[in-house]
Structure 1
């Protein structure tokens, strides 16, 4: 039985996996296709590889998907855009100004359409399709508004609903969590979101508030324990609604340049998982499919080590594998929950 600081834990520990599925919609304002295109094309091999491993180990995962990926053709995309769109002070942040560059369909433009990959996710047991907003909406950038966010999220729910999908979980793009928008999420049927780690290193911020110092601290924290394990207690997640299922660790992509430190990076993750299993808490691991778009074999080897460790923790401590929506189904069994 898992043991918490207050005695035997009442709930088993859990491994939660979420992926920010966005292809070019999530990086277009930071990198060009010439710079990052190979990683984005590699998503076409990475997603099936990850799904095969998830199926092999019975791992559940939440795929937070940008709504613009749900279309098969540009004509469908253009016919389903929200009426109110973001008005960022920096126009480069909005994808709407560059829609003219999008190809006519997925076959001719693998960077901006994802319907075939979405179908593969849906066909794999234990996988949840969730929202990463419609257009990769930034909730903390100057010029954005609550009304634009509401229309964006409604568009995401609408396009998913047209494919008989009900979005219940949300990941804020760039982790720009905005507490003022939780009521809008609830209106749209969202019951959980991925919050940020509780450390100054990971505090939500706009892009202009980022700094090399903070980025460097996050990089170092991936290899050395600077900020703690960031496992979540069930009672803490149950304390408010929509439920915050906070991140524990970002699975950084394999790096040849940092290869000598790979053992530290993996150990940091495995120790967090084991802490969650021992204490009956939740370890939430996340990454982007395009992080595996290069060095796929090396990244998949790391993921397999994580899956093997989960299997050990499952046997030793009864650890569970849960998507974000699965976590929500566990929370109503706890006392003193807010009304959903």
Structure 2
């Protein structure tokens, strides 16, 4: 079996960081999302890279009035009400389209060969936060599938927001026709947890792991994925965005990823890279140039070892 290179993107606009960052403080990143998406699509076409765009369901809407709302008893009952986007919607009736909705961008993505439009849940749902429950997640998933179908898309893959994988919720995905999801890297520092369980030690370890191999290599064989449905297609590495403060370490970050990608190609393994488009919203040229270095390595591995690029849906389909 030849190696496989896959990319998944958490496409979320302000919905993904609304409970963590004030819009004013993150506006520059969000202003750059459209250019980032166009730059990514251009690179993916150039290098024939297939990718999964896990998209927050709200973003399929043209405007706030088109957002489908759950019944009152199905709204996520987070203990921390700041996490609830419906509270935000209720309090901010005049929200800016560019930071919350992207039907035209989603359409542009879908028209590029090899790009899968997938789910990042409907409301950027947090599956491990206290207070919410499986029936509320079921409603969220139903709404995500409905709004996607209304716009001509069938959701087959899902990425859990904040990587809050919850095994108890997998049956909901299966019932709704979702056949694959992105699991977490197999290391203590990447273990699924609520926001309160993250902690400084975990965050620091993950930062260091982007530059030096603390947690090891997280590529894997297709045979490791099993036969369960929905199928876990785990992440291998987060593509951390460029940082001027850590500019001196860029070579380490690049070599870390490229070594793993080369090893996966040589051994016939899957290498799964992921990030958010808004990570590229600032320092766009530096981020795209860095990504192109990686894609150049993929292209070489494709020529030498027959490595191929597949999105999550395609990986699940070839396993059968």
Q: Is the 8 A contact 1:232 1:245 kept in 2?
A: no
**Structure richer in helix, relative to its length:** 2
Deviation for aligned residue 1:241: 1.9
Tell me, yes or no, if structure 1 residue 181 matches structure 2 residue 169: yes
Aligned to 1:4: none
Aligned to 1:336: none
Distance 1:102 1:217 in 2: 40
Q: TM-score, normalised by structure 1?
A: 0.92
Distance 2:82 2:168 in 1: 24
Choose which of 14, 20, 32 in structure 1 pairs with 2:4.
14
Q: Deviations over 1:61-90 (max 9, x none)?
A: 00000000000122111xx22221100000
Aligned to 1:246: 234
Distance 1:327 1:155 in 2: 25
Aligned to 1:331: 319
- Say how many residue pairs are matched: 317
Aligned to 2:65: 75
Distance 1:232 1:85 in 2: 37
Structure 1 segment 297-316 matched on structure 2, within 5 A? 297-316=285-304
Choose which of 263, 271, 283 in structure 1 pairs with 2:251.
263
Distance 1:47 1:244 in 2: 26
SS in 1 for 2:188: coil
Tell me, yes or no, if structure 1 residue 90 matches structure 2 residue 80: yes
Aligned to 1:5: none
SS in 1 for 2:89: helix
Deviation for aligned residue 1:41: 1.1
SS in 2 for 1:201: helix
Tell me, yes or no, if structure 1 residue 32 matches structure 2 residue 22: yes
RMSD, aligned CA: 0.9
Structure 1 segment 138-217 matched on structure 2, within 5 A? 138-217=126-205
Q: Which runs of 5+ in 2 are unaligned?
A: none
Q: Is the 8 A contact 1:102 1:112 kept in 2?
A: no
Tell me, yes or no, if structure 1 residue 110 matches structure 2 residue 98: yes
Aligned to 1:137: 125
Deviation for aligned residue 1:133: 0.2
Aligned to 1:52: 42
Q: Deviations over 1:110-144 (max 9, x none)?
A: 11111111011011111000000000000000001
Deviation for aligned residue 1:102: 4.8
Distance 1:109 1:192 in 2: 30
Choose which of 41, 48, 53 in structure 2 pairs with 1:63.
53
Deviation for aligned residue 1:218: 0.4
Distance 1:184 1:298 in 2: 40
Choose which of 270, 276, 298 in structure 2 pairs with 1:282.
270
Q: Is the 8 A contact 1:229 1:275 kept in 2?
A: no
Distance 1:51 1:261 in 2: 27
Q: Is the 8 A contact 2:9 2:53 kept in 1?
A: yes
Q: Is the 8 A contact 1:195 1:244 kept in 2?
A: yes
Q: Deviations over 1:27-47 (max 9, x none)?
A: 000001111111011101100
Worse-matched range after superposition: 94-103 or 323-332: 94-103
Tell me, yes or no, if structure 1 residue 225 matches structure 2 residue 213: yes
Q: Deviations over 1:215-266 (max 9, x none)?
A: 0000000000011110121111134221110000000000100000000001
Tell me, yes or no, if structure 1 residue 319 matches structure 2 residue 293: no
SS in 2 for 1:18: strand
SS in 2 for 1:110: helix
Distance 2:283 2:75 in 1: 36
Q: Deviations over 1:134-193 (max 9, x none)?
A: 000000000010000000000000000111211000000000000001111100101000
Q: Which runs of 4+ in 1 moved over 6 A?
A: none
